[in-house]
Amino acid sequence: MSVWSHILREVVFRKLNALFTLLGLAMAVTVVVASQLLAEADERETRRVTRDMGFNLRLIPAKTDLGQFYRDGFSRHAMDASMLDRLATQLTNKVSFNHLVGSLRREYTINGQDILLVGLSETYVAPGQGKKPMGFAIEKGTIHIGSQVALVQEKKKNDTMHVGVRQFAVANDPIETGTPDDITIFVRLEDAQSVLGLAAKINEIEAIDCLCLTADQDPLAILRKEIGGILPEVQVVHQRTLADARAKQRQTREKVNQFVLPSVLVAGAVWVALLAVFNVRDRRQEIGIMRALGKGGEHIAALFLGKAVLLGLVAALIGAALGTWAVLEFGPSLFPVTKKAIQANWPLAAQLIMATPVFAALASFIPAMLAVSHDPAETLRED
């Protein structure tokens, strides 16, 4: 009888032991697959939600008075728009900031109403990341207006409106936000520069810091050193409330992930090892007979390790399928913002299908060696 035939007969004969081993390994694989897919989904959701919370870095001219900046919400000094290009050329996956947007902000009066006129550049993103730009795109010849502007000027979507000597189409449905955006008109950067007579000028660069460090870890010092080395003409304002919210959420997720995988591996190894020990104890007489018939230690070890490999392979297939199905089924309700990006991780499944049989064999190694070390004479005498 071949080793594999013997293993299959053993699995059928001792169904309960095989079933518990299979369930333990399948559950471990399920948890690993599900936790990894959920971690990936949570990473996307965190990135998208915190991104939608807004920029947390504001780069303004170095000579700006911060008291005036905090009071008015913008700097009254301007800087060359080329500084945005200089910073954008440094965007890589290694820098501590991303999503750059240049802006020109000034008070403006339209038909007796004091508003804030904001010109926005395109968004610059680190190459190769494929991230969706922040904010909204402003088409040529259009503007986005706040709710109070729409109310006072009696404008709605698709109406035309003059800003300076130029006419624009209102591109949005104005919605009250309870922020300064309600009294703001957003235009393309070049349009704001033209209306305000400030060609090739901006007064702010907005960005997101990618360090994900909390305030006690002093990310501002790192950002100021890195950005200052590129643009010494600016000062860095860090909106720590937004930055801390993002950092704490990401750090919490990473701590959970660091705990889950080791815990699952330890629990799975102990479970498989215990069941293998029980299996060896139950098969003492069988082992003694095989040794008395001349079967070598390698044959005995192959029976136990082969069983572990077989059950590990089947458990990996079941666990990978079950974990993937669970996340695809319930993940969208947990991560509604990025639910369309949730998908199976086939490379991970393939790795687990290859690794789980090895893991099961390693967990069964000591019990297998105990089986090999049994003296057949003593075993048969006891029985």
**pLDDT (tens digit per residue) in 272-304:** 888 877 777 666 666 666 665 566 667 677 777
Alpha-carbon gap, residue 193 to 201, rounded angstroms: 7
Pairing outcome for strands 184-188 and 113-124: parallel
Residue type for position 78: A
Strand partners, 162: 167
pLDDT range class, residue 332, cuts 50, 70, 90: confident
Tokens at 162, concatenated: 């003059």
Averaged pLDDT, 168-197: 94
Out of 216-230, 278-292, 314-328, least confident range: 278-292
What pLDDT sits at residue 259?
77
Instruction: Say whether pLDDT at 144 is over 80.
Output: yes
pLDDT at 130 over 60: no
Say which amino acid occupies 81.
Answer: A
Average pLDDT of the residues in 344-351 = 90
Does position 175 have pLDDT exceeding 70, yes or no? yes
The domain segmentation of the chain, as residue ranges, is 3-48+248-382, 57-238
User: Which of 39-53, 334-348, 358-372 tops mean pLDDT?
Assistant: 334-348
Q: How confident is the model at residue 11, as a pLDDT?
A: 75
Residue-wise pLDDT tens digits, 51-94: 665 678 899 999 999 999 999 999 999 999 999 999 988 887 67
What pLDDT, on a 0 to 100 scale, did the predictor assign at position 247?
A: 67
Sequence-distant (6+) residues with CB within 8 A of 376 are 287, 288, 289, 291, 292
Percent of the chain with pLDDT over 70: 80
DSSP 356: H
Q: Any idea which of 22-36, 195-209, 273-287 has the lowest mean pLDDT?
A: 273-287
Q: Residue 309, SS3?
A: helix
In this prediction, residue 159 carries a pLDDT of 95
Residues above pLDDT 90, as percent of the chain: 38
SS (H, E, C) 234-291: EEEEECHHHHHHHHHHHHHHHHHHHHHHHHHHHHHHHHHHHHHHHHHHHCHHHHHHHH
Q: What is the overall mean pLDDT for the chain?
A: 83
**pTM for this entry:** 0.61
- Predicted pLDDT at 150: 96
User: Nearest to residue 371, comparing CAs of 301, 311, 270?
Assistant: 301
User: 259: buried, middle or exposed (CB in 10 Å: 19+, 13-18, 0-12)?
Assistant: exposed
CA distances, 197 to each of 61, 108, 202 (Å): 19, 12, 12
What pLDDT, on a 0 to 100 scale, did the predictor assign at position 46? Answer: 67
Distance (Å, rounded) from C-alpha 109 to C-alpha 165?
13
Q: Is the CB of residue 109 less than 8 Å from the CB of residue 115?
A: yes
Least-confidence region, from 92-96, 322-326, 339-343 = 92-96
Distance of CA 276 to the CA centre of its chain: 38
Rg, the chain, Cα only: 32
Task: Tell me the three state secondary structure of residue 161.
Answer: strand
> What mean pLDDT do residues 373-377 have?
56
Is the pLDDT score of 250 beyond 90? no
Minimum mean pLDDT range among 5-14, 33-42, 53-62: 5-14
Number of H helices, E strands in the chain: 13, 11
